[in-house]
Amino acid sequence: MTVTLVHPQGVNRVDVHHQVAVTQGSRTVYLAGQVSWDTDGNLVGRDDLAAQAEKAYLNIAAALDAVGATPADLAKVTVYIVDLDETKAEQFVIGRERAAATLGVQFQQPSTWVGVTALAAPGYLVEVEAVAVLA
């Protein structure tokens, strides 16, 4: 395994992700921010943050698959959420967990969530970028 997720003692343990990822590998994969596009570039889940988060994570899985990687190879995720608040954070987790259930995986990598005023196109509520490490 190229990525080991850790909950270190002495650091607050949160339920939604691990605080540390230790990697051992020779290839690093940088994924561009994924939004809720379908394969034709159409917005999926207009006005539904959970649906958009779900599709963004399904797009991450597809991008990883294209280079021979899986969600288990993810080392770090950065999430951008428009007008982030507690309710939107909860909706994000719901969508991420739906994608995880569909894929039969867990998304527990270290992550940083950033509240933003807007994303690149109108209607987009969440964007997720990621780094993976492969053997």
Q: Mind listing the pLDDT tens digit for each residue in 102-132?
A: 999 999 898 999 999 999 999 999 999 999 9
The domain in which residue 108 lies consists of: 3-134
Looking at the structure of the chain, the number of domains it has is 1
For 5, 13, 46, 69, 88, the CA distances from 17, given in Å and listed in that order, are 9, 8, 26, 20, 17
Name every residue whose Cβ is closer than 8 Å to that of residue 58 and which is 6 or more positions away in sequence.
Answer: 99, 102, 103
Is the whole-model pTM more than 0.75? yes
CA distance 72 to 51: 22
CATH number, domain with residue 51: 3.30.1330.40
- Asked if pLDDT for residue 63 goes beyond 70, the answer is yes
CA distance 31 to 9: 30
Question: pLDDT digit string (tens) for 2-56?
Answer: 777 776 687 777 676 666 667 787 888 889 999 999 999 999 999 999 999 999 9
CA distance 79 to 1: 24
CA atoms within 13 A on the CB side of 45: 20
Question: pLDDT digit string (tens) for 75-90?
Answer: 999 999 999 999 999 9
